[in-house]
Structures are given as structure tokens and as C-alpha cells.
Amino acid sequence: MQGDATFKFRDKLHGVTKMVDLARGETGSHYDFGREIAPAVHLVRAEAAGTPVAFSLWTSPVDVVEICGDAAVPATAGLLAIDRDQAHELLRGGVFVDLSQFTRSDLVPGLYYVVFDAVVPEQVHRVLHRVVPSLEPDDGRLAA
């Protein structure tokens, strides 16, 4: 059964990656705590130096375990993830993503994440400003 669950997770991860890649091609806003793109996975978009940035926000404890590889982590409410390829592409485009603020997944090669004790749009927004220093300045509004 474990193999079946891992296969389902890999399939879900592949679909989420495709949705995140598509979102990176859309014109962005300062911050968009967005739509659900897979069960218990939301799209979080921002714009830095005129370049769209997209993250996946995972909230299912089962998925969090798959990404973190630590059964103690599901006590958190979720995690915000970015893949290495997007981070490097953004860097080449002049947008710095501080991967040192992320944890590298040992179970999902190339995936980096930040864990949250509460998935609140304002908290996610604050973390985005910390991990993407060139994120456009706040305009006083948060998109929901």
C-alpha cells in the first residue's frame, strides 16, 4: 500500500508543478493567496522586479509528510514550496530567492519548503517578503 500512496503523491506533485509553471506565465499582482490547484494545495503568486513568482502551499498532513519525510512535521499547518529550477531561473532573471531560508526536501529532489504553524494569508505574505527580498513593495492591499 505504501507504494500506491507514494505513486499517488508523485502524480499529484507532477500536476501541481505543471500548474505552478503555468501560473509563472501569467501577469501577476503584488500578492495573491490563490485558488486550490489540487486537493489541499493552493497557488500563491507574487511579483518581484516585474517577474511573476509562484509557489505551492501544501496543507494536507499526508502531503507534508511526503515532502518533509518527518512524521513530527504534520503538527504544522502547511508548507510553502518552490522548486530549484524556478529559483535558479528567477535568479538568472535578476530575482533573488533566498533558498537558505528554506529546507531542502530529502524525499522530493529539487523541492525547497518553509513550514507554517498557521496558514494565514498575512503570515504567508510576510514570509514571501523575507524569502524573496525583491518582492514588490506593499501597496496596502492583500488579494484573497
Structural contact between residues 46 and 132, judged by C-beta atoms closer than 8 angstroms: yes
The Cα 45–Cα 67 span in angstroms is: 20
User: Hey, what's the cell of 74?
Assistant: 504534520
**pLDDT score of 143:** 44
- Which pLDDT value is given to residue 61? 87
Most confident of 33-37, 69-73, 75-79: 33-37
The pTM of this model reads: 0.85
User: Please, what's the b/e burial string for 64-75 (b: 16 or more CB within 10 A of its CB; e: otherwise)?
Assistant: bbbbbeeeebee
Mean pLDDT of 86-101: 92
State residue 27's pLDDT score.
Answer: 72
